[in-house]
Amino acid sequence: MDEKLVIKGYEYAKEVYAGRGVDVDKAIEAMKGVPISMNCWQADDVLGFDGDDTLSGGIATTGNYPGRARTADELRADADKAMSMIPGEKKFNLHASYANLNGRKIERSEYTADLFSEWMDWAKERGMGLDFNPTYFSHPMVKDGFTLASPDKAVRDYWIEHGKRCREIGEAFYKTLGKECVINYWMPDGYKDTPADTAAPRARMIDSLDKIFAEKIDEKLVLEGVESKLFALGLESYTVGSHELMMGYAITRNKLYCLDAGHFHPTEVISNKISSIMQYMPELLLHVSRPVRWDSDHVVTMDDELMAIMQQVVRNGYTQRVKIALDFFDASINRLAAWIIGTRNARKALLRANLENTAELKKLELDADFTARLALTEEDKTLPFGAIWDYYCLKEGVPVGEDWLKEVRDYEKNVMSARG
């Protein structure tokens, strides 16, 4: 896009927003330093590098677009290319299954930080932080659909040790990179059909988590969260880690609670839950996704719910207390493009939320002038936000508008097509 045209559009938009009481430069400054954690599993369909290229544990990827990353080197190359077209501060979110095993057979209960040395070196070169997730799925030690809540003590002990090892790895990420590391625990334990005993598995889950977290670590540097879910494939009737269980655990154990946009009933949205949970918790973890009738993890688009999520974060002053991570994976389109579209949209929504005159809207609300509140909220939707976004991309040195698509096509032709 023509640079002069972008600047001209920005100058016009800046005047329009000034008329609404918004300082555009301050809005950009407030937004650009908020990190968004990009999920590694978009590049390879959540397969990782420590298994047999099969998924289990209530996870499914649809599509078979050519060019999937098959090695850690390919995944890092794809991530570098994607991040070169995404503005703003970024982190990279790893699962334990992306360890550098180099052909060795190492149990997840024996993982150590050195298995992630290449990831740490890569992140350090880029001045970027790493987040982390234990991998409680796609493994033969997931017995009858259970890990930490298994009735078999040997199974529980295996996964408890995995959780402990992941804490040590997360600490190593912080010590090496000097960046806060968020470790999120999601366990797909549950039953396909209605169980006779719903209490015992939950008691075992709590006991297992308590054992994992027994040793104290510096929680200001390594933040630990637990994630809930309504159901998953093969776990339609009962999920051990329900919302009530995991939120209660997080509150009573001083852990992060992870709200995933796809982990609720289809008519529920997480945007309306954020301010409620923040009354009780100092910090919150968000998994930003796009569920289509279930937890389908579609690529994030700039829809009403994405905007509402970011508005809640910004309007309530939560930008330093809410950790934003992405959780989507789509194998039906170019995976690099999916990464770029989803992450740029999350950043766009965050910018647009900062371009709102929230103080004015809150005053109108207190004055019971609901007519003006609705009128201004709706008029805000047609303000020239796109011109501000284009200028921001220009200043960040990333492609403006759809210019990134040609770069993706070239990369697909010259790099990804050779993978088959």
Residues 6+ apart with CB under 8 A from 315: 353, 356, 358, 362
pLDDT tens figures, 230-247 = 887 788 899 999 999 999
Residue identified by tokens 């797909």 is 188
Coil, helix or strand for 284? strand
The yes-or-no answer on residue 162 being catalytic is no
Strands (E), 313-389: 322-326
pLDDT band at 220 (very low <50, low <70, confident <90, very high): confident
What structural domains and CATH numbers belong to the chain? 3-419 (3.20.20.150)
Which residue, 130, 129, 82, 124, is CA-closest to 398? 82
Residues 6+ apart with CB under 8 A from 132: 93, 94, 95, 96, 166, 169, 170, 173, 181, 182, 183, 184
Task: Please count the CA atoms within 13 angstroms of the CA of 318 that sit on its side-chain side.
Answer: 26
The catalytic residue among 44, 224, 283, 327 is 327
Q: How far apart (Å, rounded) are the C-alpha atoms in residues 257 and 246?
A: 7
Give me the pLDDT at residue 297, please: 83
The catalytic residue among 45, 189, 224, 260 is 260
Give me the pLDDT at residue 56, please: 62
Q: How far apart (Å, rounded) are the C-alpha atoms in residues 353 and 346?
A: 11
Residue identified by tokens 């559009």 is 9
The catalytic residue among 283, 295, 305, 356 is 295
Q: Which residues pair with 202 in a beta bridge?
A: none
C-alpha 108: how far from chain center: 23
pLDDT tens figures, 141-154 = 999 999 999 999 99
Give me the pLDDT at residue 106, please: 94
Radius of gyration, CA atoms only, the chain: 22
Phi-psi map region of 224: left, alpha, beta (phi>0 left; psi -120 to 50 alpha): beta
Q: Which of 58-62, 310-314, 340-344 has the lowest mean pLDDT?
A: 58-62
Longest dimension (CA), the chain: 68
The yes-or-no answer on residue 157 being catalytic is no
Token pair recorded at residue 60:
């499914």
Task: Give phi and psi for 209, each to the nearest 5.
Answer: -65, -40
Q: Which of 43-52, 158-167, 174-183, 206-215 has the lowest mean pLDDT?
A: 43-52
The catalytic residue among 263, 273, 323, 348 is 263
pLDDT band at 267 (very low <50, low <70, confident <90, very high): confident
The catalytic residue among 287, 298, 323, 348 is 287
Whether 373 has a pLDDT exceeding 80, the answer reads: yes
For the chain, the average pLDDT equals 94
Q: Which of 57-61, 221-225, 416-420 has the lowest mean pLDDT?
A: 57-61
Whether 379 has a pLDDT exceeding 80, the answer reads: yes
The catalytic residue among 91, 229, 243, 255 is 229
Q: How far apart (Å, rounded) are the C-alpha atoms in residues 178 and 184?
A: 19
The catalytic residue among 41, 122, 159, 186 is 186
Q: How far apart (Å, rounded) are the C-alpha atoms in residues 348 and 366?
A: 29
Q: How far apart (Å, rounded) are the C-alpha atoms in residues 183 and 167?
A: 7
The yes-or-no answer on residue 164 being catalytic is no
Give me the pLDDT at residue 55, please: 57
Residues 6+ apart with CB under 8 A from 131: 37, 91, 92, 93, 94, 173, 181, 182, 183, 184, 325
pLDDT band at 160 (very low <50, low <70, confident <90, very high): very high
Whether 225 has a pLDDT exceeding 90, the answer reads: yes
Token pair recorded at residue 298:
């579609």
Cβ count near 80 (within 10 Å): 11
Q: Is the dihedral of CA 39, 43, 45, 46 positive or negative?
A: negative
Residue identified by tokens 């910090």 is 283
Share of the chain above pLDDT 90, in %: 83
The yes-or-no answer on residue 327 being catalytic is yes
Q: How far apart (Å, rounded) are the C-alpha atoms in residues 346 and 300?
A: 7
Whether 325 has a pLDDT exceeding 80, the answer reads: yes
Residues 6+ apart with CB under 8 A from 277: 247, 257, 259, 284
Give me the pLDDT at residue 265, please: 87
pLDDT band at 58 (very low <50, low <70, confident <90, very high): low
Whether 91 has a pLDDT exceeding 60, the answer reads: yes
Task: Please count the CA atoms within 13 angstroms of the CA of 233 that sit on its side-chain side.
Answer: 10
Give me the pLDDT at residue 329, please: 87
pLDDT band at 54 (very low <50, low <70, confident <90, very high): low
Q: How far apart (Å, rounded) are the C-alpha atoms in residues 327 and 286?
A: 9
pLDDT tens figures, 327-367 = 988 889 999 999 999 999 999 999 999 999 999 999 999 99
The catalytic residue among 189, 227, 283, 330 is 227
pLDDT band at 274 (very low <50, low <70, confident <90, very high): very high
Q: How far apart (Å, rounded) are the C-alpha atoms in residues 357 and 352?
A: 11
Whether 46 has a pLDDT exceeding 90, the answer reads: no
Cβ count near 273 (within 10 Å): 18
The yes-or-no answer on residue 193 being catalytic is no
The yes-or-no answer on residue 295 being catalytic is yes
Give me the pLDDT at residue 53, please: 63
Whether 20 has a pLDDT exceeding 90, the answer reads: yes
The yes-or-no answer on residue 287 being catalytic is yes
Give me the pLDDT at residue 121, please: 98
- Asked if residue 327 lies in contact with residue 260, where contact means CB atoms within 8 angstroms, the answer is yes
